[in-house]
Amino acid sequence: MGPTERKVLTCEQISPEDPQEKNLVMEEDRGILRDRLVRDQIWIATATAIRLRLILLHKTALQTDRPFSLITCRPVLKTKVERSTDSFTMGSKLVASFLVFSVLATVAYAQLSETFYESSCPGGPAKVAEVVTSSIVRDRTLAASLLRLHFHDCFVRGCDASVLLDGPNGEKEAFGNKNSLRGFEVIDDIKRQVEALCPGVVSCADIVALAARDAVVAIRGTNWSVPLGRRDGVVGSAAEANNDLPPPFADFSMLSAMFSRKGLNTRDLVVLSGSHTIGFVSCATMQTRLYNFSSTSATDPTLDPNFANTLKRQCRVGDTTTKIKMDQTKFVDTWDFNFYSNVLRGKALLQSDDALKRNSNSLKIVQQMNRAGSPFNAEFGRAMIKMGQVDVLTGSSGEIRRRCNAIN
């Protein structure tokens, strides 16, 4: 057969301030469209069949995974030569599906903005910070709880506030959440006060994201921007939470795979784990590592022996209720990079944290974070922005809940 022409979609993200400016800092060619996957087609006119061009105005935006407020798509004619009468093979279908996903993901990413509520609810973000700060003044331990709530939300069905939904099969009932997650009453209080300002405008998903950031700031930790515009999901699933939340006994391979499924890489994994510099862990979680680790060693041999004895004095055999500090080297939770020192010295409470030094690539990142002048704060902010955009609902998807614990 002879060559035919077909329209495909090319998307560009351009500075809203100056649409004519084309300061190209990254162009990502989707090489999967080459003959490696689509062996029955030869595409002419470009090196790849469809080029998803991301024109990013500022290099700093690229480095921090900041959102972009404008995306334009236009049809472009491409010429292809048919090699067989089967014009749409399985390989082509896979490629088409990938491209649709890529474009939609980019559009969703572009729809989040730090100024999303500037006109519709200008006082909303400040009200979130106000309530969070006053709550943490009363109970400093809520800082880690609100941060953890955001993690557990984003890892199950994306950052859609599904973790807040009540119900017998909801995410609150999952193994990693039940009798463990805290801070729901703070989110409910924020929602009531924000609804009084701007009824039906600010999503619970955005409140959770803002509260996580404001909680860290309230204990004099790092700060980061929070792109807004998420909408709330209408489904919560304990089964999905049990499958998607990284367990405390995970080894590096399991952690890496679970983070990768959310679009997060090894660096994101190591940096986000640094949040364990604050917070508490239940003695129930520590029982196996301290008393029943293996048939050859009752206590995990990777734990520093003296440290293990310290933990055993706090968590007795069978104790499933006591909570102990994640960082045992501090009397009061402070935001710092001491977590990485604990990992290197065999003083990390969770096996999943100790696992970060069991891979050569992640070990290098742990060591980088543990040095004087550590980039941890900047890296943590970058990773939080990235995680906060996992599978978000935008536009007309989902809803804006009136109450965060129930769908409308």
Residue 202 exposed, middle or buried by CB count within 10 Å (0-12, 13-18, 19+): buried
Do the annotations mark residue 288 as ligand-binding?
A: no
Helices and strands, counts by H and E, the chain: 15, 5
Do the annotations mark residue 268 as ligand-binding?
A: no
H-type helices in 155-282, by residue range?
A: 184-197, 204-218, 238-244, 252-260, 266-273
H-type helices in 248-327, by residue range?
A: 252-260, 266-273, 283-291, 305-314
Do the annotations mark residue 160 as ligand-binding?
A: yes
C-alpha distance from residue 15 to each of 24, 70, 276, 389 (Å): 11, 7, 37, 20
Q: Taking the alpha carbons of 368, 289, 141, 154 in that order, is the dihedral positive or negative?
A: positive
408's tokens: 């409308």
Rg (CA), the chain: 24
Cβ atoms of residues 117 and 202 within 8 Å: yes
Do the annotations mark residue 366 as ligand-binding?
A: no
C-alpha distance from residue 7 to each of 49, 77, 119, 312, 371 (Å): 11, 5, 38, 66, 52
Sheet holding 41-44, edge to edge: 3-13, 71-82, 41-44
Chain position carrying tokens 């679009």: 263
Do the annotations mark residue 277 as ligand-binding?
A: yes
Do the annotations mark residue 162 as ligand-binding?
A: yes
Three-state DSSP string of 88-129:
CCHHHHHHHHHHHHHHHHHHHHHHCECCCCCCCCCCHHHHHH
C-alpha distance from residue 232 to each of 51, 91, 201, 205, 385 (Å): 32, 35, 11, 6, 18
Cβ atoms of residues 153 and 186 within 8 Å: no
Q: Which residues of 218-228 are buried (b: 16+ CB within 10 A; e: fewer)?
A: bbebbebebbb
Residue 241, Ramachandran bin (φ over 0: left; ψ between -120 and 50: alpha; else beta)? alpha
Do the annotations mark residue 375 as ligand-binding?
A: no
Catalytic residue (one of 78, 127, 150, 152): 152
Do the annotations mark residue 86 as ligand-binding?
A: no
Do the annotations mark residue 156 as ligand-binding?
A: yes
- Assess whether 152 carries a catalytic annotation: yes
Catalytic center residues? 152
Residues making up the annotated binding site for Ca(2+) are 153, 156, 158, 160, 162, 171, 277, 327, 336
Residues making up the annotated binding site are 153, 156, 158, 160, 162, 171, 246, 276-277, 327, 336
Residues making up the annotated binding site for heme b are 276
